[in-house]
């Protein structure tokens, strides 16, 4: 039985999985971002010339480590904890 | 209760609010009220709880309820038929001093049965800086007149001494007088219509319908919350003022049929006027909650009951007196709006049933520029650049965000025509258009914001001045959802053309920022001149994107490039779409490019 | 036109039907009804003429040869916009402002035209797709400022390139030209037209300075685009109509109804597509005004309710108001249009219970004509207001529409019981009457909005009830509004066509300029002089002179720093002298306070005149309706039976007398509770009210 957690994530067999490839990211009801690939880059210029952000501002992209699907983004400064979203198991 | 009578009374209560809104706009006649729809009218029950919230700036619905309760406490036993009370102290209930509440009890046969309350953003409040937003104020004492509750009308008679005292403290007292009169008229209409309703159906029946209306809203919201998954969702907002970074941190937890918004971790209160009080934060989280979760539920006390807020004292979201708060509505309150919109979007997205209601953040950063000075006819003009209301829609699960599509907390705003602005102020626009690459990339793109430039024109004093209390170009604030990028940030640039020196380019008809010669100085906070040949360039944020940009249909990306909404560079770098010379999608190269970008994501380290 | 030309013929093309009415002095009114024939609407007009002629025992040609005047109203432009079937249109605008049309003053274009329920749900809202492909918008280098001064000359070479690009690369068939401040100085728009005519002579061109010479570039551009988009369609349509009528023997002028309630000769109307928008409802208001004149009523609430929509317009002191921010579909336009507001409430409106709260609601969804109400037996499965009317005995299952359709009462009862009455825990009749009350309350609230909220008191008004569904409810909501009386006009079935023949030729001229108060009267007179000259020239050419023409001046005024402008009629002699100007300003101040409330005037900032309007009328001959002599009150001759209908007083079904309208004679009284069936509608006379047929055969229910 598969259950929606977000656009890119589903819960199956008690696990948080990538919807696209089924990759196992975490136990259901726990944070999953630590298991994702983190692509972090300067926000400045990230979406084009209009992204005139300060030097310290980062765009974090959390991707499926198996298929590369982009699952979530965050605006952050270095050292900020992840915005860990948890959907009840 | 008889559902037929209930249905009729509900519709009529709604019309009471609508009619009062029309009165407010009619009598006030100001641009900010009529174009920006920067107003609110609502009905409250005898105890001050929200009965029927109107469509206006929605963060006021709960604050005005608190204002009613504050007046009830202060004037207990002395509230008379025909009274009208004024309250604008942010530490009592208001959002900031320039959004004045006028609150009127409604009596039936001598008994208090309800309240009406309204606000407009008054022309001026006598703060350090004109127009209400006062970025230079160090504390509440310099933010103009502020009252925790005062009787303005006593048994139907205006207290002229109080009225005159108030007007003695503000710039353009005639305009503020008109604003106050419009609010008195608005409350009178609400009272008349409410009494007509009671006359027709009887006080007991109306009271029963009101109680049922609140009960029904609570049942409906609790049922909806019950249908949504339990969980905790987080968001974070940055506010940059003169290089100082403040943050609003939110963890929203849904359990069963209730919802907790916890702002623990937010920055300590600032010396700048971006702070907000706890009532303002509460209003700030309800502003998106009403249209996002209660779009088919009457906005009243019943919706408030299942919601709890935790906002630690001494932070930007619950500051202590005398912290300055005049910029709150476009400062901490707007960040609370954004943070709540982001977490609600995530929660909706976690539900199969409600996923199509999820949206990325809309228009997260008002630039709220007030201009003031002598106009081309010799009179004084103070007024807002109404483009601040134009906004941009966040992308949705099923569609792109709406370009220049407004904002969630104020569902029916609009901006003025260029011709209206050029007639009212001694300025000329060089351009006003959608901004390329401003909408947050995603499978569905965030709505585009705009860019504009203005320069003095026929100004008797050579130009004018403006107050800007924007959070600038440091942080994008319209968060994306489900992998969508945030929309591009705001930017304000003072172009010193008088210093252009040997540059012979004709700047008078420049079509873009790049074509404007002269030194370009970013400005974000304070009062600045716009004189001579100088120009002010303003860019406002796009909406957040939704989903992975590599999954966007290539043809849509090509169409965006063609429409100047996305650059060819961003199409390649962000969307992985390669275009041929004729502008059409190069299918092969695009597939290859997307494969490369996706592989690139896998080459990086695991997050921890 | 010889002496035999004695008929006035009016044809009104609606979405479904085309109605023709033939008037002649001393003769009964003849009707012709035929189905509309989109997109070739002219065929339907000829069909309906044919039907009318046959009813008179004439050939169509014989009728047309004897016709002195043909008056016409059509939804051809509304239809072109609703079905997106207009020309491929391009837009030329001032460089730097190419997005003006697309960004619709921000969210304005996203929420305009939406119901409150949808406004409260912004995630599910969107703009309408623009009528111009965004790729067919080009900026041209030029600039005029707020006082009309040219700051930058039009660059003709690059402008010509832009025109060629739109025509050759984008394939546009029509061009809209809308430049900043062109209503003060149209020089660049005119140069562009000359360029277009040279480069591409066949392309249809509309200039904003001609079609909407008013401030506000977004609304002006939108109007210009609508006109260019539908321009060729309206021009070709009117040409084809004229030639078809000519071929059938007609030799007189063709006059076309405008949304502001006046007629224009077809030649002129052909280039003003935007003027034809919503001319049908406008004709309805004009018809109500004329009927009011015949009955000596100057204050009228004109209601029209059919299958899907309830529409209402207001006439006060013989005058009507204009819509402030008119929309067609969801597109804004700036052209004078009689204010008519509407809600989705009609006979086909679906009655439903909220699945959660069980609170009932009526509309705005409609079952339409197909599948229609359950009782039609055409596959409708959702209960509608028509079903409700049948269940409470107001509509006669056996004699609907003159007996042409037999209603399936038992199916209506079964569905209504299952979906509405049982979940509400009520009898079918009690629940149905509850729904009836909700519909009446929604209509009351709408009329409240267009009267009380505009500073008008319904107690001063009479209510006209038109359309197939309205008279079933009008005595009920009329009583709640406290109007003086409800009138169901004899001409109700052909009301819009009736409005067409009671309209005048009206040319509207405007000039935008800002003049302070006080200004020398000559400054105002100088602005009007060229408009007066143009108007007189036009009216003379159309054959109007002496007391058959009138020129009315009006001026928009506002308090400085205020957004509300109020059109104020010049009541003094024109040209104005100093005292006339003073009187105008006094009138403005009184009007402002009445409209926007006591204390709303802000004199300290000064007063400005912003728009100068000339309304030039060519007065048309009107058909007269001879009053009949009144007979005895005894209506028993028209009583055709008794049937159980819902009685509010008894809160139960109770027997009521049923009357046949066609057998009533002027002077008859009908005491409620009663139901009067006419060939096109049903009139409910509630308990304790009395209806009478007046000398013009109208049914009048006195309430005051």
Would strands B307-310 and B370-374 be described as parallel, antiparallel, or unpaired? unpaired
H or E stretch at C44: helix C41-55
Does the pLDDT at position C1 exceed 50? no
* C364 contacts: CB under 8 Å, gap ≥ 6: C115, C343, C344, C345, C349
Task: Tell me the two tokens of residue A24.
Answer: 């196992």
Task: Kindly report the CATH number that applies to the domain delimited by C84-230.
Answer: 3.40.50
Averaged pLDDT for residues C576-601: 87
* Whole-number Å distance between alpha carbons of B209 and B191: 17
- Find, among B6, B9, B80, B26, the residue nearest to B189 by Cα: B26
Other Cβ atoms within 10 Å of C293 Cβ, number = 13
B545-572: average pLDDT: 97
CATH number corresponding to C7-80+236-276 = 3.30.420.40
Residues 7-66 of A with CB under 8 A from B: 7-8, 33-40, 43, 46-54, 57, 59, 61-63, 65-66
Give C 478-517 residues with CB within 8 A of chain B.
514
Q: Where are chain A's structural domains? A: 3-77
pLDDT band at B222 (very low <50, low <70, confident <90, very high): very high
The shortest C-alpha distance from B442 to chain A (Å) reads: 10
Nearest Cα residue to B446 out of B351, B543, B360, B364: B543
Over residues C314-367, the pLDDT tens digits come to 999 988 888 888 999 999 999 989 999 988 899 999 999 988 888 999 988 888
Q: How far apart are CA C596 and CA B363, in angstroms?
A: 33
CATH 3.40.50 residue window(s) in chain C: 84-230
Exposed (0-12), middle (13-18) or buried (19+): which is C355, by Cβ within 10 Å? exposed
Please tell me which chains touch A, using 3 or more CB pairs under 8 Å as the contact test.
B
The answer to whether the Cβ–Cβ distance between C361 and B7 falls below 8 Å is yes
From CA B154, how far away is CA B135, in angstroms rounded? 35
B452 shares its domain with B592: no
Question: Which of B114-123, B170-179, B488-497 shows the lowest per-residue confidence on average (mean pLDDT)?
Answer: B170-179
Say whether both B398 and B511 belong to one domain: yes
Which residues in chain A have Cβ-Cβ distances shorter than 8 Å to B549? 70
Of C107, C356, C452, the CB nearest to B391: C107
How far off is chain A from B316, nearest CA to CA, in Å? 18
Residue numbers in C near B34 (CB within 8 A): 563-564
> What is the β-pairing status of strands A9-12 and A3-4?
antiparallel
pLDDT tens digits, C81-103: 988 999 999 999 999 999 999 99
Q: For residue B28, which of B95, B123, B101 has the smallest C-alpha distance?
A: B123
> Contacts of residue C126 in chain B, CB cutoff 8 Å?
399, 402
What's the number of CA atoms in the CB half-sphere (13 Å) around residue C484? 9
Q: Which chain B residues have a beta carbon less than 8 Å from that of C110? A: 393, 402, 405-406
pLDDT value of position B501: 57
B46: closest CA of chain A, how far (Å): 40
Residues 624-683 in C contacting B (C-alpha not used; CB under 8 Å)? none
Interface membership of B375 toward C (CB under 8 Å): no
Are A84 and B240 within 8 A, CB to CB? no
Domain boundary among B219, B237, B261: B219
Report the DSSP pairing between strands B244-255 and B380-384: unpaired
Are C543 and C245 spatial neighbours (Cβ–Cβ below 8 Å)?
Answer: no
Q: Which of B414, B458, B511 sits opposite C106 (nearest CB)?
A: B414
Contacts of A47 in chain B (CB under 8 A): 437, 440-441, 485-486, 488, 570, 574
Chains within contact range of chain C (3+ C-beta pairs < 8 Å):
B
Angle at B356 between CA B355 and CA B362, to 5 degrees: 100
Q: Tell me the two tokens of residue C534.
A: 């143009």
pTM: predicted TM-score of the whole model, two decimal places: 0.94
Question: Is C149 an interface residue toward B (CB < 8 Å)?
Answer: no
What is the 3-state secondary structure of C599-628? CCCCHHHCEEEEEEEEEEEECCCCCCCCCC
Q: Does B426 touch chain C (CB under 8 A)?
A: no
* One domain for residues B540 and B409: yes
Chain centroid to Cα C507, Å, comes to: 18
pLDDT digits (tens, 9 = 90+) for B462-517: 999 999 988 878 999 999 999 999 999 999 999 998 765 555 556 688 999 999 98
CA distances for C418 relative to B79, C145, C356, C383, C427, angstroms = 50, 66, 16, 10, 11
Q: Do A68 and B599 touch (CB under 8 A)?
A: yes
Q: Higher model confidence: residue C18 or residue A36?
A: A36
Model confidence at C3: pLDDT above 60: no
Rounded mean pLDDT, C490-513 = 86
Chains B, C: CB contacts within 8 A come to 224
Same domain, residue pair B416 and B562: no
B276/B324 Cα distance (integer angstroms): 8
Band of residue B139 on the pLDDT scale cut at 50, 70, 90 = very high
Looking at the fold, whether B38 and B144 belong to one and the same domain comes out as yes
- Do residue C218 and residue B23 have CB atoms under 8 angstroms apart? no
**Mutation target among C120, C143, C222, C566 for the B interface, most CBs of B within 10 A:** C120
Contact at CB, B346 and A8, closer than 8 angstroms: no
pLDDT at C390: 94
Is position B431 within any domain?
yes
Residue with tokens 């000259």: C533
Q: How far apart are CA B221 and CA B194, in angstroms?
A: 26
B11 to chain C, any CB pair closer than 8 A? The answer is: yes
CB C230 within 8 A of CB C77: yes
With both helix axes pointing from N to C terminus, report the angle between B60-74 and B278-293 in degrees, rounded to the nearest 10.
Answer: 130
If one counts the domains in chain B, the total is 3
Residues B423 and B564 in one domain: no
Angle between helices B203-227 and B278-293 (to 10 degrees): 80
Question: Radius of gyration (Cα) for chain B, nearest Å?
Answer: 25
Of chain B, the end-to-end C-alpha distance in Å amounts to 59
Do B10 and B143 fall into the same domain? yes
Q: Which residues have a Cβ under 8 Å from the Cβ of C578 and sit 6 or more positions away? A: C521
* Strands laid side by side in the B491-496 sheet: B427-434, B450-456, B535-539, B491-496, B519-522
- With CA atoms as reference, report the closest residue to B91 among B73, B110, B112, B66: B66
Burial of C129 (0-12, 13-18, 19+ CB in 10 A): exposed
Proportion of chain C above pLDDT 90, given as a percent? 70
Q: What span, in angstroms and rounded, lies between the C-alpha atoms of B60 and C319?
A: 40
- Position C2 scores a pLDDT of 42
Which residues from chain C sit within 8 angstroms of residue B31, using beta carbons?
A: 563
> Which residue from C101, C135, C318, C96 is spatially nearest to C217, judged by alpha carbons?
C101
Q: What is the pLDDT of residue B28?
A: 79
Chain B within 8 Å of C97 (Cβ-Cβ)? yes
String of DSSP letters for B54-105:
-SS-TTHHHHHHHHHHHHHHHTTT---TT-EEEE--TTTT-SSTTEEEEEEE
What DSSP string describes B568-593? HHHHHHTT---B-TTSSB-HHHHHHH
Could A70 and B569 be called an inter-chain contact, meaning their C-beta atoms sit closer than 8 Å?
no
State whether B397 and A7 contact (CB < 8 Å): yes
Q: Is B305 on the interface with C (CB under 8 A)?
A: no
User: What average pLDDT does the segment C627-633 reach?
Assistant: 91
Q: Is the pLDDT of residue B168 over 80?
A: yes
Question: Mind listing the pLDDT tens digit for each residue in C235-286?
Answer: 999 999 999 999 999 999 999 999 999 999 999 999 999 999 999 889 999 9
Give B394-442 pLDDT, tens digit per residue: 999 999 999 999 999 999 889 999 999 999 999 999 999 999 999 999 9
The answer to whether the complex's ipTM is over 0.95 is: yes
Question: C 551-610 residues with CB below 8 A of B?
Answer: 559-564, 595-600, 602, 604-605
Distance CA C596, CA B432 (A): 33
What is the structure's pLDDT at C403?
A: 65
Residue range(s) defining the domain that contains residue B597: 551-603
C127 contacts on B by Cβ (under 8 Å): 402, 405
Quick check: C645 and C664 in contact, CB under 8 A?
no
Tell whether B457 is within 8 A of chain C (Cβ): yes
User: CB contact, 8 Å: C152 with chain B?
Assistant: yes
Q: CA C589, CA C19: separation in Å to the nearest integer?
A: 44
pLDDT-derived band at C627, boundaries 50, 70, 90: confident
Radius of gyration, alpha carbons of chain A: 14
- Would the CB atoms of B569 and A48 count as touching at under 8 Å? yes
Average pLDDT over residues C123-129: 96
SS3 C166: helix
- In this complex, does chain A touch chain C, defined as having at least 3 beta-carbon pairs under 8 Å apart? no
Q: Which residues of B touch A55 (CB under 8 A)?
A: none
C-beta atoms surrounding B404 within 10 Å: 36
Lowest-confidence segment of B126-130, B152-156, C377-381, C437-441 by average pLDDT: C377-381
Residue B246 parent element (H or E): strand B244-255
Of the residues B163, B198, B219, which one is the last residue of a structural domain?
Answer: B219
Assess whether pLDDT exceeds 50 at residue C453.
yes
- Surface of B (509-548) touching C: CB under 8 A: 509, 511
Decide if C422 touches B, using CB distance below 8 A: no
> Do the chains contact at B598 and A36, CB–CB below 8 Å?
no
- The secondary structure of residue C450, as a DSSP letter, is H
Of the candidates B532, B359, B516, B534, the one whose C-alpha atom is nearest the C-alpha of residue B445 is: B359
To which residue do tokens 């702002």 refer? Answer: B263
Please check the confidence at residue B608 and state whether its pLDDT lies above 60: no
Which of B536 and B178 is assigned the larger pLDDT? B536
Which of B231, B355, B437 is facing A50, going by the closest CB pair?
A: B437
* Same domain as B561, residue B538: no
- What is the DSSP track for C172-228? -SEEEEE-TTTTT-THHHHHHHHHHHHH-TTSEEEEHHHH--SS-HHHHHHHHHHHH
Question: Which structure tokens are listed for A2?
Answer: 């598969």
Q: What is the mean pLDDT of residues C625-649?
A: 91
Chain B positions in Cβ-Cβ contact with residue C105 (cut-off 8 Å): 390, 414-417
Is the CB of B550 inside 8 Å of chain C's CB atoms?
no
Q: Of the given ranges (B62-71, C26-35, C438-447), which has the lowest mean pLDDT?
A: C26-35
């Amino acid at each position: 039985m598969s259950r929606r957690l977000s656009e890119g994530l589903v819960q199956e067999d008690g696990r948080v999985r990538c919807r696209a490839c089924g990759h196992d990211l975490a136990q259901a009801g726990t944070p999953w971002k630590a298991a994702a690939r983190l692509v972090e880059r300067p926000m400045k210029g990230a979406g084009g010339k209009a992204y005139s952000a300060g030097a310290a501002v980062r765009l974090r992209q959390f991707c499926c480590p198996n298929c590369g699907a982009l699952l979530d983004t965050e605006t952050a400064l270095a050292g900020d904890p992840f915005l860990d979203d948890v959907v009840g198991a | 209760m008889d559902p037929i009578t209930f249905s009729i009374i509900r519709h009529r209560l709604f019309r009471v609010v609508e009619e009062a809104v029309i009165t407010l706009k009619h009598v006030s006649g100001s641009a900010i009220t009529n174009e920006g729809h920067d107003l609110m009218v609502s009905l409250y029950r005898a105890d001050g709880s929200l009965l029927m919230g109107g469509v206006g700036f929605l963060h006021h619905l709960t604050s005005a309820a608190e204002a009613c309760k504050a007046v009830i406490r202060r004037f207990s036993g002395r509230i008379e038929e025909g009274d009208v009370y004024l309250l604008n102290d942010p530490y009592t209930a208001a959002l900031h001093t320039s959004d004045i509440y006028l609150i009127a009890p409604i009596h039936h046969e001598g008994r208090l049965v309800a309240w009406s309350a309204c606000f407009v953003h008054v022309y001026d409040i006598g703060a350090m800086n004109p127009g209400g937003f006062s970025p230079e104020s160090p504390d509440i004492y310099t933010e103009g007149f502020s009252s925790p509750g005062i009787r303005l009308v006593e048994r139907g008679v205006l207290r002229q001494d109080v009225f005159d005292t108030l007007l003695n403290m503000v710039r353009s007292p005639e305009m503020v007088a008109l604003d106050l009169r419009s609010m008195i008229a608005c409350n009178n209409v609400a009272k008349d219509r409410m009494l007509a309703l009671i006359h027709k159906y009887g006080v007991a029946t109306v009271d029963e319908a009101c109680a049922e209306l609140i009960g029904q809203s609570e049942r409906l919201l609790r049922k909806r919350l019950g249908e949504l998954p339990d969980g905790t969702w987080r968001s974070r907002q940055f506010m940059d003022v003169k290089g100082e970074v403040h943050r609003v941190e939110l963890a929203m937890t849904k359990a069963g049929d209730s919802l907790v918004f916890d702002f623990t971790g937010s920055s300590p209160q600032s010396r700048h006027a971006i702070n907000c009080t706890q009532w303002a934060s509460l209003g700030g989280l309800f502003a998106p909650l009403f249209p996002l979760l209660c779009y088919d539920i009457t906005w009243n006390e019943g919706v408030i009951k299942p919601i709890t807020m935790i906002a630690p004292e001494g932070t930007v979201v619950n500051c202590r007196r005398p912290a300055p708060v005049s910029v709150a509505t476009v400062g901490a309150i707007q960040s609370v709006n954004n943070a709540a919109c982001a977490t609600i979007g995530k929660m909706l997205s976690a539900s199969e049933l409600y996923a199509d209601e999820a949206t990325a953040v809309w228009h997260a950063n008002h630039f709220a520029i007030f201009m003031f000075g002598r106009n081309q006819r010799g009179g004084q003009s103070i007024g807002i650049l109404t483009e601040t209301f134009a906004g941009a829609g966040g992308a949705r699960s099923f569609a792109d965000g709406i370009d220049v599509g407004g904002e969630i907390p104020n569902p029916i705003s609009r901006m003025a025509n260029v011709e209206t602005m050029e007639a009212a102020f001694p300025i000329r626009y060089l351009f006003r258009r959608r901004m390329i690459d401003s909408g947050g990339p995603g499978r569905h793109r965030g709505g585009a914001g705009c860019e504009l430039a203005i320069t003095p024109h026929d100004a008797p004093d050579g130009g004018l001045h403006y107050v800007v209390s924007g959070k600038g170009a440091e942080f994008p604030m319209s968060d994306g959802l489900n992998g969508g990028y945030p929309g591009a940030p705001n930017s304000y640039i003072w172009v010193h053309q008088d210093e252009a020196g040997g540059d012979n380019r004709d700047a008078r008809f420049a079509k873009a920022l790049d074509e404007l010669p002269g030194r370009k100085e970013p400005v974000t906070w304070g009062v600045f001149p716009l004189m001579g040949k100088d120009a002010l360039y303003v860019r406002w944020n796009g909406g957040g994107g939704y989903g992975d940009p590599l999954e966007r249909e290539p043809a849509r990306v090509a169409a965006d490039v063609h429409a100047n909404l996305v650059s060819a560079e961003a199409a390649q770098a962000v969307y992985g779409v390669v275009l041929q010379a004729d502008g059409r999608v190069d299918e092969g190269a695009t597939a290859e490019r997307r494969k490369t970008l996706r592989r690139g994501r896998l080459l990086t380290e695991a997050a921890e | 036109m010889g002496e035999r030309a004695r008929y006035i013929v009016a044809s009104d093309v609606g979405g479904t039907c085309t109605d023709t009415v033939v008037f002649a002095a001393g003769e009964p009114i003849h009707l012709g009804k035929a189905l509309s024939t989109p997109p070739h609407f002219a065929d339907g007009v000829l069909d309906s003429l044919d039907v009318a002629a046959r009813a008179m025992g004439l050939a169509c040609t014989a009728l047309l040869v004897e016709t002195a005047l043909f008056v016409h109203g059509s939804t051809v432009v509304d239809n072109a916009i609703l079905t997106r079937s207009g020309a491929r249109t391009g837009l030329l605008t001032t460089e730097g402002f190419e997005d003006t049309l697309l960004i619709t003053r921000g969210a304005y274009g996203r929420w305009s035209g939406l119901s409150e329920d949808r406004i409260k749900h912004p995630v599910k809202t969107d703009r309408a797709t623009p009528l111009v492909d965004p790729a067919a918008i080009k900026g041209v280098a030029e600039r005029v400022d707020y006082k009309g001064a040219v700051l930058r000359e039009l660059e003709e070479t690059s402008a010509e390139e832009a025109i060629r690009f739109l025509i050759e690369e984008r394939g546009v068939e029509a061009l809209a030209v809308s430049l900043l401040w062109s209503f003060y100085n149209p020089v660049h728009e005119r140069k562009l037209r000359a360029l277009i005519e040279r480069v591409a002579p066949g392309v249809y061109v509309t200039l904003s300075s001609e079609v909407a010479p008013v401030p506000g570039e977004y609304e002006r551009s939108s109007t210009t685009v609508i006109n260019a988009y539908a321009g060729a369609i309206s021009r070709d349509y009117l040409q084809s109509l004229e030639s078809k009528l000519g071929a059938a023997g007609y030799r007189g002028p063709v006059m076309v109804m405008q949304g502001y309630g006046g007629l224009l000769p077809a030649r002129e109307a052909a280039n003003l597509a935007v003027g034809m928008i919503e001319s049908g409802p406008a004709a309805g208001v004009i018809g109500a005004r004329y009927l009011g004149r015949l009955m000596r009523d100057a204050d009228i609430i004109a209601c029209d309710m059919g299958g899907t929509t309830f529409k209402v317009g207001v006439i006060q002191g013989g005058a009507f108001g204009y819509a402030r921010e008119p929309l067609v579909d969801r597109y804004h336009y700036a052209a004078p249009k009689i204010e008519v507001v509407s809600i989705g409430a009609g006979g086909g409106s679906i009655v439903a219970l909220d699945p959660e709260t069980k609170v009932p609601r009526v509309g705005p969804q409609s079952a339409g004509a197909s599948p229609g109400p359950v009782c039609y037996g055409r596959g409708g499965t959702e209960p509608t207001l028509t079903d409700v009317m049948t269940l409470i005995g107001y509509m006669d299952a056996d004699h609907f529409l003159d007996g042409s359709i037999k209603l399936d009462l038992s199916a209506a009862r079964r569905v209504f019981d299952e979906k509405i009455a049982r979940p509400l825990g009520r009898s079918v009749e009690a629940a149905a009457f509850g729904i009836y009350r909700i519909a009446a309350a929604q209509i009351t609230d709408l009329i409240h909005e267009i009267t009380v909220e505009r500073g008008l008191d319904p107690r001063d008004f009479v209510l006209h009830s038109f359309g197939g569904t309205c008279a079933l409810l009008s005595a009920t909501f009329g009583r709640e509004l406290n109007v003086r009386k409800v009138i169901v006009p004899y001409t109700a079935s052909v009301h819009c066509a009736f409005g067409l023949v009671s309209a005048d030729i009206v040319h509207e001229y405007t000039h935008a300029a800002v003049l302070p108060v006080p200004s020398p009267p000559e400054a105002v007179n100088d602005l009007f002089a060229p408009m007066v000259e143009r108007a007189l020239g036009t009216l003379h050419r159309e054959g109007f002179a002496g007391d058959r023409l009138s020129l009315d001046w009006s001026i928009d005024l506002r308090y400085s720093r205020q957004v509300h402008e109020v059109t104020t009629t010049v009541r003094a002699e024109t040209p104005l002298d100093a005292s006339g100007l003073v009187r105008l300003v006094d009138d403005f101040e009184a009007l402002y306070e009445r409209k926007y409330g006591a204390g709303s005037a802000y004199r300290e900032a000064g007063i400005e005149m912003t728009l100068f309007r000339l309304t030039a009328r060519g007065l048309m001959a009107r058909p007269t309706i001879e009053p009949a002599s009144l007979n005895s009150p005894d209506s028993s001759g028209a009583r055709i039976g008794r049937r159980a209908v819902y009685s509010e007083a008894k809160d139960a079904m109770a027997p009521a007398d049923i009357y046949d309208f066609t057998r009533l004679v002027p002077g008859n009284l009908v005491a409620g509770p009663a139901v009067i069936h006419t060939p096109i509608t049903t009139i409910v006379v509630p308990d304790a009210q009395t209806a009478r047929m007046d000398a013009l055969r109208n049914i009048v229910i006195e309430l005051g």
